[in-house]
Structure 1
Amino acid sequence: MAPPPSLPPFSALPLREGDPHHSAWGLYGEDDQLGFLNRLTDDVVLAAAGEIKSGVRISLNWPLDAQRDTPFFGRQVFHQHVYQKPPRIVHDDVWTFNSQCSSQWDGLRHFGYQKEELFYNGVTVEQISGEGASKVNGIGAWSEKGIVGRGVLLDYHSWRVKKGLPFDAFQSGSIPLSQLKEIAADQGVEIKFGDILLLRVGWMHAYNSKSKTEITALTKANPPSFPGVEQSEEMLEWIWNNFSAVAGDHPSFECWPSQKDWKLHEVLLAGWGCPIGELFDLEALADHCARTGRFSFFVSSEVCNVPGGVASPPNILAIF
């Protein structure tokens, strides 16, 4: 499926003079809060449903308590309080956690243009967290229809191992677009407009091989360092021309810290309203894709309906 004729070319960005670099503010209306999820039209989702052939379902959710007391970025970890309600034989529980302590979708309130201090469609800090703030750009707006469509997995980890390329999941490093395109060709993946990109860099695989002592030491780095996709015009254009959302198994999706004076988070979230998924558990998905030779599937993700929310667990399934 090709981009619709109405989609402005990447070269036309920013769409309005004076707006931040690469921004597409106003494309879907001045008050839009869906961003790239506008690309998931009924027709696109209906076509994606054709990916369901066997009914096999695979969760991509890392447990909410996976990081326990050793979180990266200093985020509060998941805590569960279970209590009985006598005299009945009944239990309730209370969960307290940072919405980005495990698998997450970054919403449009999470990361703004740093120099301009503006979020998607020009929303200000004061509109989000100042006195009398509104619920604008809250992730609850995404819950009405969810993030649902055709997913594609690019398994960088398996490709890299096959190629014998060096890799450190806890050091900053850029994955170039040329390699992602080579992986897609190697896997026989046809990318279609509106796809949900899932990138397995191998971070979760590496994390699971580390001891608690090693992880604790790594969390103390400031800033932490992670590999991810490169910050480049070419990467931005590729995402603009193809996807409705992007996600990976690592904490930052892009190379972190940024190797440019700008960040992909700024453009994707604040400029385009493109959801960024992080810390997705793609291990079982990668295994199934490799065994079946299928790297595309139906994706169903329902974010939590929190008006004014910054981020959300993805509650996500891949369905074959």
Structure 2
Amino acid sequence: MSTDPGVSRVSRQEFDALFASVRTWGRWAAADRGAWNRVTPDHVRRAAALVRDGTAVPLGLPWNTRSGPDNSRPALHYMSDLGDVEAPEPATYKDFLGVDYHGKAVSHLDALSHVAYLGQLYEGHVAQEVIGAAGARFGSVAALGPLVTKGVLLDLPAVLGVDWLKPGQPVHAGDVAAAERALGVTVDDGCAVLVRSGRFRRRRKLGPWDVDAASAGLHVDAVPLLAERGVSLLGADGDSDLRPSPVEGIHSPVHVLAVAAMGVPLLDNLDLEALSAACAGAGRYEFMIVVAPLNVPGGTGSPVNPVALL
């Protein structure tokens, strides 16, 4: 892995060729679900066989109501009932939650309506024609439903023997293959790939920073490998994208390739620290993962707290 600022720049022409090479448009009848169509009951049974000691590891961040360099839109949480209104027993206590969850501070799922490239969503739907004030009529998170499949943790700091990857450090295709070998895992058909950079270990040690300006993440040259393996889901403790972007004029090229070209939903801002420790303790980096986004008709995604089961 390199931190050389001049490493592997990609032109728009090269990127467009890459987009065309990984595109899966027209492959599935239930196009709203994209790559989740890959996961069959056999995949679920395979994932269930990976649950051996019964350890359940949640991957979602705490609800983040504090503004900061990596949280420009804090979530809302306030009490709407403090049990102080006279009424028959029992007293009740209620609260309100609200969030603009896309961004860097909330663990969330990106549905297929979240990303358009050159005006088109996955399957070539014109974004302005199918998304309006009432939400998305194609690629809604409600179309996805839950996902249960095999998960693979590519724990890059563990492979490299470091605490974390440096902000701006790229993860290339060769790094993905090397991590598979080192961790004894195989990225294969229908699986969910989680990429750990150590972002939250670094944040807890050194404090927050502007992750839009500099984040470790996948270089676009890693995407064809994931496409060839037939993954159903991609997630990370960042948002999967390397920042600054290596592609001229495109700030989130991995989002474009995964969501708009391949139909692969993304999990952003996962806390993978506990999972890293659990996998190291168990001596294995494959597990069952359960992802159940909120059933929001027209939603472009959902806050989510995925669970890994070892």
Question: Which of residues 78, 81, 91 in structure 1 aligns to 2:78?
Answer: 81
Question: Which letter maps to 2:112?
Answer: L
Q: 1:269 to 1:93 in 2, by over 3 A?
A: same
The secondary structure found in structure 1 opposite 2:288 is strand
Report the residue type matching 2:275 in the other structure.
L
Alignment partners' CA distance in 2, 1:192 and 1:134? 31
Task: Label 1:274 to 1:134 Cα distance change in 2 as closer, same or farther (>3 A).
Answer: closer
Moved more, 46-55 or 132-141: 132-141
Deviation at 1:72, TM superposition (A): 3.0
Q: Residues of 1 paired with 2:175 and 2:256: CA distance?
A: 23
RMSD of aligned Cα (Å): 2.2
Question: For the residues of structure 2 that align with 1:238 and 1:209, how far apart are their CA atoms?
Answer: 33
CA deviation digits over 1:144-191, x for unaligned, max 9?
xx12100011110122235x9x9423xx23111112211211111133
Instruction: Report the Cα distance in structure 2 between the residues aligned to 1:53 and 1:87, rounded to whole angstroms.
Output: 50
Structure 1: state its 5+ residue gaps.
1-18
Aligned partner of 1:126 in structure 2 is: 128
Deviation at 1:131, TM superposition (A): 6.5
TM-score, normalised on structure 2?
0.84
Name the residue aligned to 2:37.
Answer: 38
Quote the residue 1:207 is aligned against: 203
Please give the per-residue CA displacement for 1:21-72, whole angstroms capped at 9, x wherever unaligned: 642211113x61001100111111112111111111111111122x621263
Q: Which of 215, 220, 240 in structure 2 is aligned with 1:231?
A: 220
Structure 1 residues 102 and 308, CA gap change in structure 2 (3 angstroms): same
**1:56 corresponding residue in structure 2:** 55
Cα deviation for residue 259 of structure 1 reads 0.4
For residue 47 of structure 1, give the secondary structure of its aligned residue in structure 2.
helix
Contact 1:127 1:136 in 2 (8 A): no
Provide the C-alpha distance between the structure 2 equivalents of 1:68 and 1:139, rounded to a whole number of angstroms: 26
SS in 2 for 1:264: helix
Partner of residue 275, structure 1:
265
Instruction: State the TM-score, normalized to the length of structure 1.
Output: 0.81
Query: Are the structure 2 counterparts of residues 22 and 291 from structure 1 closer, same or farther at C-alpha, using a change threshold of 3 Å?
Result: closer
User: Which residue in the other structure is 2:109 paired with?
Assistant: 105
Aligned 8 A contact 1:230 1:254 in 2: yes
* Residue of structure 2 aligned with 1:68, choices 61, 66, 69: 66
Compared with structure 1, are the counterparts of its residues 167 and 316 closer, same or farther at alpha carbon in structure 2 (3 Å cutoff)?
A: closer
Work out the CA distance in 1 between the residues paired with 2:304 and 2:147.
9
**Structure 1 residues 132 and 246, CA gap change in structure 2 (3 angstroms):** closer
Given that residues 152 and 187 in structure 2 are in contact (C-alpha distance below 8 angstroms), is that contact kept between their aligned partners in structure 1? yes
How many residues are matched? Answer: 281
Match of 2:166 among 142, 165, 168: 168
The answer to whether structure 1 residue 257 and structure 2 residue 259 are counterparts is: no
Instruction: Report % sequence identity.
Output: 23
Asked whether the equivalents of residues 135 and 300 of structure 2 are also in contact (C-alpha less than 8 Å), the reply is: no
SS for the counterpart of 1:34 is: helix
Q: Indicate if the aligned counterparts of 1:71 and 1:77 stay in contact, CA closer than 8 A.
A: no
Q: Contact 1:127/1:133 (CA < 8 Å) preserved in 2?
A: no
| Cα separation, partners in 2 of 1:60 and 1:132, compared to 1, 3 Å | closer
* Structure-2 residue corresponding to 1:5: none
Structure 2 vs 1, CA of residues 37 and 71 (structure 1 numbering), >3 Å: closer, same or farther? farther
Task: Give 1:254's aligned amino acid.
Answer: D
CA displacement 1:231-285 (0-9 Å, x = unmatched): 12xx2221112211111111x2121232023512112101121011111111111
- The superposition leaves residues 85-130 of structure 1 with CA deviations (integer Å, 9 ceiling, x where unpaired) of 51142111110111234111111121111xx211111222323444
Task: Give the corresponding residue for 1:14.
Answer: none
Contact 1:126-1:133 within 8 A present in 2 as well: no
For the Cα contact (< 8 Å) 1:72–1:224, is it kept in 2? Answer: no
Contact 2:237 2:269 (C-alpha < 8 Å) held by counterparts: yes
Match of 1:135 among 122, 137, 153: 137
- Counterparts of 1:156 and 1:20 in 2: how far apart (Å)? 29
| 1:309 paired to 2:299 | yes
The answer as to whether partners of 2:110 and 2:302 remain within 8 angstroms in 1 is yes
Read off the aligned partner of 1:52 and give its amino acid letter: V
Question: Are the counterparts in 1 of residues 153 and 193 from structure 2 also a CA contact under 8 Å?
Answer: yes
Q: Secondary structure at the match of 1:285?
A: helix
